[in-house]
Structure 1
Amino acid sequence: MSAYDVDAVIVGSGPNGLVAAVTLAEAGWRVVIYEAQDTPGGGLRSEEVTLPGFLHDCCASNHPMALSSPAFRELGLEREGLAFAQNDIPLAHPIRPGETGYLRRSAAETAAGFGSDEKLWRAVMGTFGDRWKQLGRAIGNPLRPTPDLIALGAASVWPTPWLLKLLRDERSRAVLSGLAAHSIVDLRQPATALVGVALGAFAHGVGWPVAVGGTRSIADALIARLTSLGGEIITGTRVARIEDLPRARAVLLDTSPRDALKIAGHRFSASYANSLHRMRYGSAAYKVDWALDGEVPWVDEELRDAGFVHLGGPAEQVIEAERLVAKGRMPDEPFLLLSQASKLDPSRAPEGKSAFGGYAHVPFGFDGDITDAIEARIEKFAPGFRDRILARHVTDPRALEARNANLVGGAIDGGVPDLFQLIARPRLSLNPAETSDPGIFLCSASTVPGPGVTGMPGRLAAQLAMKRLG
């Protein structure tokens, strides 16, 4: 008789927990997932939060990393019906009404819009974009350096303002600063430029697609694969202690370090527990979704064709806004990341309507109300926007954490991804998924390679579990 009830128990059903479960199940392991919420998916959720017929992504929305990540590419989830949609303008960055920088699928067309920076943009972004597969593998496991990762680091492991000194055109500077702001870190910190260059390169290499039917379609495809392999998901069950779980050869925690300590801290060594205690969390997100009567009435009409919009103004304004937020202060005009997903995937809204949404960067644990400030900023670039609002839904940092315990303080990064915590995540180790207990593994975005819908933390943890335990 086996000493175990199952081979592996996974706590948490976000993209990393699901990828870990599928990886193990495809290797023949008996797997069960425990999820605290009533529905699985973690950040892979989409709901009709405004009005019936308007589908909004609750967290992750654009998915360049899902297309470039080895974890997703090798799973081949198109067999479960997963599909992506995009167009030729992944991103637009308005600088002022009527003046916009565009990040297009084509590196050459993008560069042509950047004046004196044309040659530099094509040489750097175009080259990395052409090597998106190699770049995806390199970023997916950065502790195993490759020539592509070394080249990316040499080109961009700098504070964003340093890299901006090489650019002269206001449009290219604004676009790069907005891309770098996805790091959700003070942009004067080292390695923030790396995030900007990588996201720009992937826009040229694979685009910035949305999942058809909402981001939840990614979770649905993973769940379909898992259940076809005999895996099980138990929802509505919050795990308090590891001893409450079935007996298993391996336990994989798709949780924040804080919850990992609550569940299994008594099984960890003092030094490992201290590394989890020391994890620092970054700035938070304040999310608003709108059901609109028609499209956003942008002054620059080509903005209506962009999948995503960064509303941040000139590069200097983006840098200052991110600096204030990192210091715990709210800028008068916050940096906004907006999704026009229903433009790419019409199934998300009734005909003639739009499911529009996005979020602002706010200080960790922010408890204020900036809905009016967000709408006022959009109105500045799209006069008449407020007149088209049929309904709105606000998710502040506290609500984000209530829906997903991994979003500590409303932070969506699993731990601030500054230079140190990009590689020491949650501690410096060639096997970041390992804990001090040989049967427990951490597989969340709080491990390398960090945030984003890559599935790589889950894949690496599952591979390590199989290597260690057979």
Structure 2
Amino acid sequence: MPARPGAAAAADAVVVGAGVNGLVAANLLADAGWDVVVCEAEDAPGGACRSAEVAAPGFGTDLFSAFYPFAAGSPVLRGLALEDHGLRWCHAPLVLAHPTADGRCALLSTDLAETTASLADFAAPDAAAWRAQAELWGRIREPLLEALLAVPFPPVRAGLRLARTLGTADALRFARFAVLPVRRFAAEEFAGAGAGLLLAGCALHTDLAPESAGSALVGWLLAMLGQDVGFPVPRGGAGRLTGALVDRLQARGGVLRTGTRVDAVTVSAGRARGVRLADGTLLAARRAVLADVDAVALYRSLVAAEHLPPRLLTDLDRFHWDSATFKINWALAGPIPWADPRVRRAGTVHLGGTLDDLTEMSAQLARGLIPADPLLVLGQMTTADPTRSPAGTESAWAYFHLPQHPRGDAGAAGGAPVTGRWDAADLARLVDRVERRLEAAAPGFTALIAGRDVQSPARLEAMDPGLRGGATGGGTAGLHQQLVFRPVPGLGRPETPIPGLYLASMSAHPGGGAHGGPGAMAARAALRDSGPAGPLRRRALAAAHRRIYAGPNESRSASETVRATRPNAPS
């Protein structure tokens, strides 16, 4: 519990937010012997990694994130040995299925032969082509994951290790691949449609369209993780991952305070000194404050503008959120009766049609339209983990992406459109759209519904304020807001312009996913800054920040102000 209002308390580090990244950061600092306090505004930890029974009693639902290939593959989370704190992974018989209207089905399995056999149904040469991609993944897996998820940008040592593994010629070709759109990559590497469907569907777990630069790498990375470690789920629900992180932290002396909202980061003499809680309590941080909150919340709400470079705040007006999300959770009286029996074995199902269909849907999103036929990402949770519901039943969910600020509804078809108000009428229309789609792919689906819970974009944000407008990635995965551009043009590092304050959320590099990368990078930066070379590092970073954010100090122009306050402007 927090100290009495107005009383002073202190710790080596205060972590704001108990999502996966905040808990990873706190664990690493506690491992180093720091006294750590984590302040979480909600009554339970976990952020977007929580579970509950919401569709019907006895049916466990992962409220936000559900399948965890990044967690299983992350060098950060592997290093925490969470299995020693009760975490157990479960796997569905198949990782992913993408059925098509012509009766074929692209399958992703941890059995490479099963994956390649399904792709050969689309084009015989694609079995060998996919096997070549899996072999490449096996060669570069460790240095690539370290470079992407474990070290700040630029990943000098990990990058050199990756380059040595590839060799100069292949490193250049891999760099080209890293910026390709998934449509182009699929056309270059595969003869049939199946592999492209797997890759594009995986890329669309983010907000990257098949024609988006960088979507090939994102889709490939997720697909190769699925091929390698699967899309596992924590036995008993997503909250078990959070529970393991909390248990590990407390075993090392860390303190978690739930129901403890932070109102401000306190700054004096140009350095973060701690936080002020909503009840007025001051909690001092002797060494560091780490913020597992989105960048907009940190710089617009928690830190006073007088402590920040004006140009950073101007850049923040252009912060680009990822797409909104609409999610339905079901309690089903039996397994989903898919027309294609292969789909019944998959933990994750993509219902999205052809690659052209995915492109059309993405174009509708780009135009601000509710998609007529969105890509449904569906989770069969009891198929993956039998503890999620009573024997013979299924706990399932499906989500799809929407515009942050809808301008119309491409699926109205002469009927009443979805408005984006997310009122009862909007929810009913979207639920009907989804369930009609499922009934077509699995005749008899609707008759199995024993309970339903709907999470609109507004409700997602109400349940976790970090999911702004229903965005689940902490900001777009587009190249214009990755690496040195995340969250704004800068260093691509967790350090902020305020010494002692570190951004430790998905808004920081390397972005979304339950891999713990942003939290680990923030913790390691704080540890380095407190070491013998800390003063030199801080001076170098301060000089870099001055160069990056140098510019006129006058107020933003009227045009910028108008743009920043428009309903459809980036926010």
TM-score (norm 2): 0.79
Q: Could you give the per-residue CA deviations for residues 170-214 of structure 1, whole angstroms, max 9, x where no partner exists?
A: 222222221121221333220011111101111122111111111
1:393 to 453, 466, 473: 453
Q: More displaced, 442-451 or 356-365?
A: 356-365
Amino acid in the other structure paired with 2:284: R
Q: How does 1:177-326 map to 2 (within 5 A)?
A: 177-243=200-266, 244=276, 245-248=282-285, 249-261=287-299, 262-266=301-305, 267-326=307-366
Q: 1:125 Cα deviation (Å)?
A: 3.3
Q: Could you give the per-residue CA deviations for residues 427-468 of structure 1, whole angstroms, max 9, x where no partner exists?
A: 344452111100111000001110000101000000001111
Q: 1:143 to 1:326 in 2, by over 3 A?
A: farther
Whole-Å Cα distance in 1 between the matches of residues 53 and 14 of structure 2? 31
Q: How does 1:333-372 map to 2 (within 5 A)?
A: 333-365=373-405, 366=420, 367=422, 368-369=426-427, 370-372=430-432
Q: 1:64 to 1:152 in 2, by over 3 A?
A: farther
User: Which residue of 1 is the match for residue 550 of structure 2?
Assistant: none
Q: 1:6 Cα deviation (Å)?
A: 0.6
Amino acid in the other structure paired with 1:236: G
Q: 1:230 Cα deviation (Å)?
A: 1.4
2:107–2:114 CA contact under 8 A, matched in 1: no
Whole-Å Cα distance in 2 between the matches of residues 272 and 378 of structure 1? 46
- The answer as to 2:67 corresponding to 1:62 is yes
Amino acid in the other structure paired with 1:138: A
User: Which residue of 2 is the match for residue 109 of structure 1?
Assistant: 114
Whole-Å Cα distance in 2 between the matches of residues 269 and 122 of structure 1? 50
Q: 1:29 Cα deviation (Å)?
A: 0.8
2:92–2:383 CA contact under 8 A, matched in 1: no
Q: 1:277 to 1:439 in 2, by over 3 A?
A: farther
Amino acid in the other structure paired with 2:10: D
2:182–2:196 CA contact under 8 A, matched in 1: no
Amino acid in the other structure paired with 1:194: L
Q: Could you give the per-residue CA deviations for residues 134-157 of structure 1, whole angstroms, max 9, x where no partner exists?
A: 332122146313327956543342
Whole-Å Cα distance in 1 between the matches of residues 55 and 359 of structure 2? 32
Whole-Å Cα distance in 1 between the matches of residues 200 and 492 of structure 2? 32
User: Which residue of 1 is the match for residue 477 of structure 2?
Assistant: 417
User: Which residue of 2 is the match for residue 24 of structure 1?
Assistant: 29
Q: 1:52 Cα deviation (Å)?
A: 1.1
Structure with bigger RCO (C-alpha 8 Å, 6+ apart): 1
Q: 1:116 Cα deviation (Å)?
A: 2.8
Q: More displaced, 21-30 or 238-247?
A: 238-247
CA RMSD after TM alignment: 1.8
Amino acid in the other structure paired with 1:391: G
Q: More displaced, 88-97 or 195-204?
A: 88-97
Q: How many residue pairs align between the two structures?
A: 468
User: Which residue of 2 is the match for residue 123 of structure 1?
Assistant: 132
Q: More displaced, 292-301 or 185-194?
A: 185-194
| Partner secondary structure for residue 144 of structure 2 | helix
User: Which residue of 1 is the match for residue 530 of structure 2?
Assistant: 469
Q: Could you give the per-residue CA deviations for residues 275-330 of structure 1, whole angstroms, max 9, x where no partner exists?
A: 43332101111010000001000001121110100111111111211221132111
2:105–2:118 CA contact under 8 A, matched in 1: no
Q: Could you give the per-residue CA deviations for residues 328-364 of structure 1, whole angstroms, max 9, x where no partner exists?
A: 1112111111111211211110111110012111111
Q: 1:129 Cα deviation (Å)?
A: 4.4
Q: More displaced, 249-258 or 450-459?
A: 249-258
1:43–1:58 CA contact under 8 A, matched in 2: yes
User: Which residue of 1 is the match for residue 462 of structure 2?
Assistant: 402
Amino acid in the other structure paired with 1:77: L
- The answer as to 2:355 corresponding to 1:332 is no
From the CA coordinates, give the structure whose radius of gyration is larger: 2
Q: 1:394 to 1:323 in 2, by over 3 A?
A: same
1:162 to 184, 206, 216: 184
Q: More displaced, 68-77 or 263-272?
A: 263-272
User: Which residue of 1 is the match for residue 507 of structure 2?
Assistant: 446
Amino acid in the other structure paired with 1:8: A
Whole-Å Cα distance in 2 between the matches of residues 121 and 265 of structure 1? 52
5+ residue gaps, structure 2: 1-7, 267-275, 277-281, 406-419, 532-571
- The answer as to 2:48 corresponding to 1:46 is no
Q: 1:85 Cα deviation (Å)?
A: 0.8
Amino acid in the other structure paired with 1:10: V
Q: More displaced, 274-283 or 215-224?
A: 274-283
- The answer as to 2:521 corresponding to 1:460 is yes
2:183–2:210 CA contact under 8 A, matched in 1: yes
Q: More displaced, 264-273 or 32-41?
A: 264-273
Over the matched positions of the two proteins, sequence identity in percent amounts to: 38
Whole-Å Cα distance in 2 between the matches of residues 136 and 181 of structure 1? 20
1:92–1:308 CA contact under 8 A, matched in 2: yes
Q: 1:88 Cα deviation (Å)?
A: 4.2
2:349–2:377 CA contact under 8 A, matched in 1: yes
Q: 1:64 Cα deviation (Å)?
A: 0.8
- The answer as to 2:493 corresponding to 1:436 is no
TM-score (norm 1): 0.95
Q: 1:49 to 1:130 in 2, by over 3 A?
A: farther
Q: Could you give the per-residue CA deviations for residues 379-401 of structure 1, whole angstroms, max 9, x where no partner exists?
A: 11100000000010000101111
Q: 1:419 to 1:206 in 2, by over 3 A?
A: same
Whole-Å Cα distance in 2 between the matches of residues 89 and 22 of structure 1? 33
Whole-Å Cα distance in 2 between the matches of residues 416 and 355 of structure 1? 29
| Partner secondary structure for residue 44 of structure 1 | coil
Whole-Å Cα distance in 1 between the matches of residues 476 and 462 of structure 2? 19
Q: Runs (4+) of structure 1 moved beyond 6 Å?
A: none
| Partner secondary structure for residue 183 of structure 1 | coil
